[in-house]
Amino acid sequence: MFLAKDGHVRILDFGIAKLGARRTPEGLEESPTVAEMTEAGATLGTVGYMAPEQLRGQVVDQRADIFSFGCVLHEMLSGRSPFLKGTGADTAAAVLHEDPPSLAVQGREIPVSLSAIVNRCLEKRPNDRFSSAHDLGLALRAVAEALLRGRSPAEPALTSIVVLPFENLSPDPDNAYFADGLTEEIISDLAKVRALRVISRTSAMLLRGSRKDVPTIARELNVRYVLEGSVRRAGTSLRIAAQLIDAASDAHLWAEKYTARSRTCSTCRRRCRAPSWRP
């Protein structure tokens, strides 16, 4: 990928490609045409643009491509590859153990939010990067829209939100599936609002158990609002608490609690969720 003098980005080489799993009516099935040279254990690629897990010969997925993209984006903004050293061995060691140089000291005025996106792409652990190119694209689009509107790119779009995984406060840890299901339902419903930018379920679920505070999470995801909550289920009693937070001020804009009781259905003789919720 090269940035031409006319400002256009040109893709000159796709590098090493690998066929992933293909979906069949029976489920996911690994394609029989996947070349052995690109499977786990091989370290093919250009040193300096390869993700740490790729250098180690571990299993890679789309997040390795996001790391490579971060290397290219860093180079486009700074003029130099972030991990380039005098030898291939030193370059590989830098990828594995060194942090990329800060874009803030490269002599260019780089938006803080754009630097944060680059740094997240270049995280050593795959789980700390963007989980998909879709989420990465949303973050870049938010920065671009801010620049076009003359707003500071560090300020997230007003109509952007992340739904954090609801915490399971139930005595039975097996009820965690209910909390996850509720989180997915809320994300799915909010995603139907076309004017609202909603962080995907995959990225949101990676934040389960995170100790990061709300402003930090919002800054890394470039969102304005954060929705968090908890679920407590004991016997027939069910209680859900939720709150909407403005990340810019870390202030609660809205909070509500909902209670319901399970009942035994006369038809199926199983417990069903109560048809109505009572705040």
CATH code for the part of the protein at 160-272: 3.40.50.10610
Q: Round to whole Å and give the CA distance between 51 and 66.
A: 9
Average pLDDT over residues 66-95: 91
Q: Domain extents for the chain?
A: 2-148, 160-272
For 162-179, the pLDDT digits (tens) are 999 999 998 887 778 888
More confident of the two residues 215 and 262: 215
pTM > 0.85: yes or no:
no
Average pLDDT over residues 110-122: 84
Taking alpha carbons only, the member of 239, 242, 255 closest to residue 165 is 242
Read off the pLDDT band of 140 (50, 70, 90). Answer: confident
Q: Round to whole Å and give the CA distance between 63 and 129.
A: 7
DSSP 207: T
Instruction: Give the alpha-carbon dihedral of 135, 81, 93, 97, to 10 degrees.
Output: -50
What's the distance, Cα to Cα, between the start and end of the chain in Å?
54
Q: Check whether 262 has a pLDDT greater than 90.
A: no
> Tokens at residue 105, please?
């000291």
Read off the pLDDT band of 69 (50, 70, 90). Answer: very high
Q: Hey, what CATH topology would domain 2-148 get? A: Transferase(Phosphotransferase); domain 1 (1.10.510)
Q: Round to whole Å and give the CA distance between 140 and 222.
A: 9
* pLDDT on residue 35: 42
Read off the pLDDT band of 23 (50, 70, 90). Answer: low
More confident of the two residues 50 and 146: 50
Q: Check whether 54 has a pLDDT greater than 50.
A: yes
* pLDDT on residue 10: 78
Which residues touch 261 (CB under 8 Å, ≥6 apart)?
236, 237, 238, 274
* pLDDT on residue 34: 41
For residue 238, list its beta bridge partners: 233, 260
* pLDDT on residue 186: 93
Q: Report the share of the chain in percent with pLDDT over 70.
A: 75
Average pLDDT over residues 3-28: 63
More confident of the two residues 123 and 220: 123
* pLDDT on residue 8: 81
Least confident of 21-30, 183-192, 229-238: 21-30
Total Cβ atoms within 10 A of residue 168: 21
Average pLDDT over residues 196-207: 84
Give the SS3 label for residue 279. coil
